[in-house]
Amino acid sequence: MMHTSLARRLLPAAVALACATGVQAQTRYSLDILTGLGGTSATGNSINDRGWITGRGNLTGNQSRHATLWRGDTVTDLQTLGGPNSVVVFPVKNIVGIVSGIAQTNEPDPLNETWSCGFFFPAATRTGVRCLGFRWRNNVMTPLPTLGGTHGFASGTNNFGFTVGWAENTVHDPTCVAPQQLQFRAVRWGLDGKPTELPPLPGDSTSAATAINDLGEIVGISGICDIAVGQRSARHAVVWRNRVPHNLGDIGGDAWNTPVAINLRGDIAGFGNTVAGIDFAPHAFLWTRRTGIVDLGTLPGDSTSQASGMNELGRVVGQSCNSAGVCRGFVWTRGTMRDLQAMITEGDDATILTANDIDDFGVITGQAIDNATGRFVVFRATPLD
């Protein structure tokens, strides 16, 4: 009871007021472009209720990228664990000053796996060294231990300091697709950094955790090893309660079923294929205790969509793309998906490609193209209403 009460007190007053008065979705936004780290590409993947935006910025030359923190207009390079790359991949919603993500070390990878990290790094520097999950606080990046294997991956941290992700063990899993060799399991790291394994569903060999709320509910995936990212490693979307996995169902497909966010109400947003097979053809979904899993569809004229973030009001943001691969950011609320670009009425000139996260005040971050320079940039969209 004390744990639940404390978690509720962490909600900003604006959320409680909005829930009580039935405030409708904001429909007008001001857009700001944020400065990167010198390269031609950056993206914001997370925003918390302190206004901290995290993601990554390419360095000059675009051969490496670093996890990046934007506080207002101040940009901070979070550096790495000794290797060329680091990234904050998933929304990190805590307001206690902890950032979690992935970073390369300078230690050689004895198996030369691509691992889950490699898909988020530039091709020239994505393999060859270990990649670990990290926690960053007060300008110090701390590596998180694995389950005995080479690599790890941290995805989110709650307000009590518990971090989730996944890590390799020492089992050479026959369901892995080369160059991946080692099995991996979902992990919750405690305040002391000690990992606790979260098992997959019965019949599956691997699992990975993508988000945690302040009640300790954890969401993620369960499947086979595959290529260690998506595909059939995400055969099932799951939620762990008291370390027990529960299948959330699907929207028609048997791959790419990936939750990315869970709020205090237990609402879960993510994406998954709508048809069988490993070809990437997802739709965004929302799972609630009342409705179960629901396909959120796409923006008009598009064929795929992905949810990337959600706030305590259940507003979902993400990306909707057409068959030619042209994508745009969306905001979904109360059953309606809207194009974020059409809701921008003032500010910087940019074309929004994806909306990756939304805080409880309705502020959104993601990636856009700066129409003046052609660079891929981080944006902050602030409600005007």
Q: pLDDT tens, position by position, for the chain (385 residues)?
A: 334 434 443 444 444 444 433 444 457 999 999 999 999 999 999 999 999 999 999 999 999 999 999 999 899 999 999 999 999 999 999 999 999 999 999 999 999 999 999 999 999 999 999 999 999 999 999 999 999 999 999 999 999 999 999 999 999 999 999 999 999 999 999 999 999 999 999 999 999 999 999 999 999 999 999 999 999 999 999 999 999 999 999 999 999 999 999 999 999 999 999 999 999 999 999 999 999 999 999 999 999 999 999 999 999 999 999 999 999 999 999 999 999 999 999 999 999 999 999 999 999 999 999 999 999 999 999 999 8
pLDDT of 15 reads 44
Q: Is residue 185 part of a domain?
A: yes
pLDDT of 27 reads 79
Dist CA 247 CA 11 (whole Å): 28
Task: Name the amino acid, one letter, at 3.
Answer: H
Beta bridge partners of 102: 87, 133
pLDDT of 13 reads 41
pLDDT of 368 reads 98
pLDDT of 65 reads 98
Residue 333's SS3 state is: strand
Q: Residue 346: exposed, middle, or buried by beta-carbon count in 10 A (0-12, 13-18, 19+)?
A: exposed
Q: Is residue 171 part of a domain?
A: yes
Dist CA 186 CA 195 (whole Å): 9
Ramachandran area for residue 343 (φ above 0: left; ψ -120 to 50: alpha; else beta): alpha
**What is the extent of the structural domain holding 357?**
2-8+18-383
pLDDT of 3 reads 42
pLDDT of 184 reads 98
CATH of the domain at 112: 2.130.10.10
Q: pTM score, two decimals?
A: 0.93
pLDDT of 25 reads 44
pLDDT of 9 reads 39
Q: Is residue 13 part of a domain?
A: no
Sheet holding 268-273, edge to edge: 258-262, 268-273, 282-288, 292-297
Ramachandran area for residue 5 (φ above 0: left; ψ -120 to 50: alpha; else beta): alpha
Residue 264's SS3 state is: coil
pLDDT of 8 reads 42
String of DSSP letters for 352-367: EEEEEEE-TTS-EEEE
Angle at 121 between CA 120 and CA 124, to 5 degrees: 145
Beta-carbon contacts of residue 16 (< 8 Å; ≥ 6 apart): none
Beta-carbon contacts of residue 320 (< 8 Å; ≥ 6 apart): 284, 298, 299, 302, 304, 305, 327, 328, 329, 330, 337, 339
Number of structural domains, the chain?
A: 1
Q: Is residue 181 part of a domain?
A: yes
pLDDT of 2 reads 35
